Structure 1
Amino acid sequence: MLADKAYRNREDLRYCKQRGIRLSGPSLGLPLQADRVVQARLEQQDTAERNAIEGKFGKASVCTGLA
């Protein structure tokens, strides 16, 4: 599941963790040095997937006159 970074708060993170959903983005608090590289790659991959999805929504709204 891909979600926007705006939804990364303690309550939503706890909800997603209980249900096995991974939210992209850095963990709350001070990041560990070793996790930065791994986290950056995951965030880049998630952003690319999310852009593709949002592009389809944008194209559909223009084609149907919803914009």
Structure 2
Amino acid sequence: MGLKPSESLKGTDSWHNPQVHQATGIIVAQTKETPDEAVSRLLAYAAATESTVDQVAADLLAGKITLV
């Protein structure tokens, strides 16, 4: 059994970034996904665009991207 997506962020600088948590909440509210599913969505988007999770979160909060 693998780590939950949120577990993979723990201990990283991104885990302590409030924008990552805010972006996770936005995704949960928009999609009705669980927080772990929302974090998976953030991680997948970051990997697909060769961005950091922090940058994806900032872009989501700024309205530059949507993950719905």
TM-score, with normalisation over the residues of structure 2? 0.29
**More RCO (CA 8 Å, sep 6+):** 2
TM-score, with normalisation over the residues of structure 1? 0.29
